[in-house]
A and B are shown apart, each in its own frame.
Chain A
Amino acid sequence: MKSIHETIRSRRPLVIIVSAIIGAAVIVAGYTLLSNRLWSDYQTSYETWSEDARIKAEEALAPQLARADRLSQFKALTTSIENKKDSRCTVNGLIAWQQFMADNKKRQEECRRVADEVVAFGRQLQSAVSYLEDDQEITIILTDAIGSSDKLSQKQWVEQVATWGSASKSIAAADVVAEFTEVKTLASKRVATVEAAWKKIVAADKAKDESKYVDGEKDLTQAYAALKDISEESADHFKVIASKVQTAYDKAFINQ
């Protein structure tokens, strides 16, 4: 009888071959499982990324948030989307060679589609944010000019000329996005009309000319009333922008 040691020694080449085969099988199985895991993670990653973007966009609109906080959350979101747009669908180097396989190819195509739609949403949102920032800048200028006094005496009329003149300059100096240009132009015109009406009142008062004073009063009422046109112009422009954001939102998160 041969001892076990002798048996192994006599069949050494066979043992080595079998061990190598088993070892290789274990490595191949391990790599296959790892590949599956990495491809699953790849898919989960872009799905989660898209869902996170949607949640963050909705959270930024939470009623308890102040307007400034909403804008800053939107900006953070759009920046984050934009920063990750190129690396979003990069495949891990360990499994990169498997990209040609049909399933994996499909995953990558889906990732690029999702990424493109989320990026498109981010860009539309950024456009809305830029518009809302301009909207706020012009609002502050107009709110300051309109003031809170509902009854003004002679002394204050001259101040009004200066106030509206300054508002006119501030609006002209405002650096706004293309979508806001028409609103800015209209705001400039309407503010200039208010300034002109105040000048007319001041001049009529100085000349003690009743006829010109009555005309000036009428102009002033109409000029203030016409500020309403800015409201309508702006609402019309933003309606188009908001609609584009909604379409991009639906494409990215709803009609997938």
Chain B
Amino acid sequence: MCLACSAKYMSVGLGLLVATTTGGASSALFSEKLAAMQTLPKTTQSVDAPELVVPGWLKQKRAEAAAKGQPSQTSSVRTVTYDVMTKGKITASVAEFRSLANATLNDGRGWSRLGVSFKEVASGGMFTLVLSSSDQMTSFSPGCGTEYSCRAGRYVIINQDRWLGATPSWNNAGGSLRDYRHMVVNHETGHWLGHDHQQCGGAGQPAPVMQQQSINLAGCTFNPWPTKGELWSTQLGIR
């Protein structure tokens, strides 16, 4: 009987020992795994309004206005100007870079929520958006490395290697190149707007755009857009 008891105790004891060691390691992840079961954050994190097929009457009206040389109707918001340049050997499409960067900056989910509109100008913009080959990154500042994108003074520099292929950790986590491009433009512009790096706020939460998502999501979910808490800019005096 006591032999049986001892065997039973030993098995329970061993079980508890295993639980304390293996369980200890996995327990840190219990709440994270639980948080990953949420579906709402993923569904509503980044929703684009559908494109509207321009109705015939409007096409006609706009054509008539264009013929008369009248300006089209636009809203009045504060404008932030920027110019675009490239540095080093560029193989990516610069036209696509310009177009996607402008669309990102003016996207309704992005920094335009500060109540600003970003306008590309030929020169003399408030900041310069740069598409740079990786070997030229350090020419902007010793603080910039060849691996990632960077901001140095008025220069918001996108590393061409990252623009073309994102980062291994981003790709391994299943992120899309389109979202990476949104994220990197918003992140580096965020530095120009006055933001420092942020940490993941908690497992399963959308990462702040100022988190270094290129390197590690740290339990957060992809998020290419600034969060509510990030909608401020010391550069523009918006709090």
State whether A242 touches B31 (Cβ < 8 A).
yes
Which chain B residue has the least Cβ–Cβ distance from A247? Answer: B31
State whether B73 touches A238 (Cβ < 8 A).
no
The minimal Cβ–Cβ distance linking A22 to chain B, given in whole angstroms, is 21
Query: How many angstroms between the C-alpha atoms of A158 and B48 in the bound complex?
Result: 19
Partner of B228 from the list A48, A150, A221, A232 (CB cut-off 8 Å) is A232
- A-side interface residues, number (CB < 8 Å): 69
State whether A238 touches B35 (Cβ < 8 A).
yes
State whether A152 touches B61 (Cβ < 8 A).
no
**A228 neighbours in B (Cβ, 8 Å):** 44-47, 109, 206, 225
Judge if A128 is at the interface, Cβ distance under 8 Å: yes
State whether A217 touches B16 (Cβ < 8 A).
no
Judge if B204 is at the interface, Cβ distance under 8 Å: yes
**B30 neighbours in A (Cβ, 8 Å):** 57-58, 61, 245-246, 249
Given contacts A243-B31, A245-B34, contact A235 B73 (CB under 8 A): no
Given contacts A61-B33, A210-B58, contact A150 B51 (CB under 8 A): yes
The minimal Cβ–Cβ distance linking A188 to chain B, given in whole angstroms, is 13
Query: How many angstroms between the C-alpha atoms of A229 and B39 in the bound complex?
Result: 14
State whether B38 touches A135 (Cβ < 8 A).
yes
Judge if B41 is at the interface, Cβ distance under 8 Å: yes
- B-side interface residues, number (CB < 8 Å): 58
Partner of B31 from the list A44, A136, A220, A246 (CB cut-off 8 Å) is A246
The minimal Cβ–Cβ distance linking A73 to chain B, given in whole angstroms, is 12
- The stretch of B4-12, B80-88, B174-182, B185-193 in contact with A is B4-12
Which chain B residue has the least Cβ–Cβ distance from A55? Answer: B19
State whether A232 touches B227 (Cβ < 8 A).
yes
Mark A32-64 against chain B: 1 for CB-CB distance below 8 A, else 0.
Answer: 010011001100100110010011011001000
State whether A61 touches B38 (Cβ < 8 A).
no
Query: How many angstroms between the C-alpha atoms of A48 and B14 in the bound complex?
Result: 11
Judge if B168 is at the interface, Cβ distance under 8 Å: no
State whether B24 touches A210 (Cβ < 8 A).
no
State whether B40 touches A214 (Cβ < 8 A).
no
The minimal Cβ–Cβ distance linking B225 to chain A, given in whole angstroms, is 7
**B58 neighbours in A (Cβ, 8 Å):** 208, 210, 213
Judge if A189 is at the interface, Cβ distance under 8 Å: no
State whether B57 touches A208 (Cβ < 8 A).
yes
Judge if B52 is at the interface, Cβ distance under 8 Å: yes
Judge if B141 is at the interface, Cβ distance under 8 Å: no
Judge if A250 is at the interface, Cβ distance under 8 Å: yes
Residues of B at the A interface (CB closer than 8 Å) are: 1-2, 5, 8-9, 12, 15-16, 19-20, 23-24, 26-27, 30-35, 37-53, 55, 57-58, 61-62, 73-75, 107-109, 113, 201-206, 225, 227-228
Residues of A at the B interface (CB closer than 8 Å) are: 33, 36-37, 40-41, 44, 47-48, 51, 54-55, 57-58, 61, 67, 70-71, 128, 132, 135-136, 138-139, 142-143, 146-147, 149-154, 157, 183, 201, 205, 208, 210-211, 213-214, 217-218, 220-225, 227-232, 234-236, 238-239, 242-243, 245-246, 249-250, 253-254
Top-5 shortest CB links A-B? A246-B31, A225-B108, A224-B49, A242-B31, A139-B39
13 contacts between A and B (CB under 8 A): A58-B30, A143-B43, A153-B53, A205-B55, A223-B49, A228-B44, A235-B35, A235-B205, A239-B202, A239-B204, A242-B31, A242-B34, A246-B31
